[in-house]
Copies of this chain bind each other. A is one copy, B any other.
Amino acid sequence: MYVLGIDGGGTKTTGIVADENGKVYIESHAGPSNPNTLTPDEFEEVLKGLTADLEKQDSVIFSQLAVCFAGMSGAGDSWRCDAKFEQVLTKFLPPQIEVIVRNDAYNVLYSETLGKPGIVQIAGTGSISFGLNHENKTVRSGGWGYLFDEAGSAYHLGNEALRAVFKNYDGRGPETVLTEEIINYFNVSDVTDLLGKIHGPEHPRSVIAQLAPLIIAAAENGDGVAAKIIRKACAEIMECIESCHKKLFAADHPTLVVLSGGVFANSQQLLDCLRELSKKTLPNIVLRQAHAAPVSGAVIGGLKAMGFNSIDENITERINLQLKKS
């Protein structure tokens, strides 16, 4: 029984062929496959390249694929789109293979729940909550765009930090080590010089998001302004989790909430703050940082579609160990 799991993202796409025990037979990588940032031709080209490479590596196993589960960033917003992606994939895969396209949040969720329901909270450059319940109902909360939503994201943390730095510069806000940290980070001599760095050739969103680790570190070193930014972000993240939970589960349901994305990496304070907040409103949720490769969640999605309902709890560890370090 061979399953093709695909994890498609804004920077790269990974495809692996594995069996129900988590043995990996073929692995391939391609460029970004978020359809929102590609033309239809470019999107097709990426999937064509990925599948051709997999077939080239082992055409016998490739020809025996039973199911393909692709968790793709940019998918899942409408059935019409997902059907289109499924059509594209079907063109490049063996006949009669079952092709399933879902949003990439499924990969992260399944990599930790082993195919069971739960909630994923992503906080990378952007942020969004996604949940799935026992009736296969899904909901999202947040992630409506960096300008007015996505609190808790790296962009949001960076933006709040810049706001605090300029407020202090004007005498409108308290002192913070963020001023020195951000001036040093951009290697400029004055706060006003920051404007030129932020509105440079790169999109401000990416430039500002890169500041998030400075705010996390400043908060952990006791800076009051940074700590307040972190607490506010946690409150917004918790609101997203709560609204997903409310629509999917009973209030006391012991739900696993998978935390994924750079903001959660190395931030014990952020994790502690979320745990503290959850005690009040969702005491039975379990917060856990994602640690398995998202593509292992895609394999689990494929296995689930084939009827494997009891999936070996060590499958993601086994897949992780076999993946090439890329």
Binding site for B on A (CB under 8 A): 140-142, 144-145, 147-149, 159-160, 162-163, 166-167, 170-173, 195, 198-199, 204, 208, 239-240, 242-243, 246-247
Contacts and interface: CB of A to CB of B under 8 A. Distances in A.
Contact of A148 (B159, B239, B242, B247): B159
A148 B172 contact: no
Classify the interface of chain A: helix, strand, loop or mixed. Answer: helix
How many identical subunits does the complex contain? 2
B149 A166 contact: yes
A274 B244 CA distance: 38
Contacts of A147: 147, 159, 162, 198, 204, 208
Contacts of A172: 141-142, 239-240, 242-243
A247 B171 contact: yes
Most-contacted residue by chain B among A141, A167, A247 (CB, 10 A): A167
Given A148-B163, A162-B148, A163-B149, A170 B142 contact: yes
A199 B195 CA distance: 23
14 contacts: A140-B170, A142-B166, A142-B172, A144-B166, A145-B195, A147-B147, A147-B159, A147-B208, A148-B159, A148-B160, A149-B163, A170-B240, A170-B243, A172-B240
A246 B149 contact: no
Nearest to A194: B144
A144 B195 contact: yes
B159 A141 contact: no
Given A141-B172, A142-B172, A172-B239, 10 more contacts: A142-B170, A144-B166, A145-B195, A147-B147, A147-B208, A148-B159, A148-B208, A149-B163, A149-B166, A171-B243
Contacts of A199: 145
A149 B208 CA distance: 14
A166 to B, nearest CB: 4
Contact of A171 (B160, B162, B198, B246): B246
Most-contacted residue by chain B among A145, A172, A173, A199 (CB, 10 A): A172
Most-contacted residue by chain B among A163, A240, A247 (CB, 10 A): A163
Contacts of A160: 148
A250 to B, nearest CB: 16
A82 B163 CA distance: 28
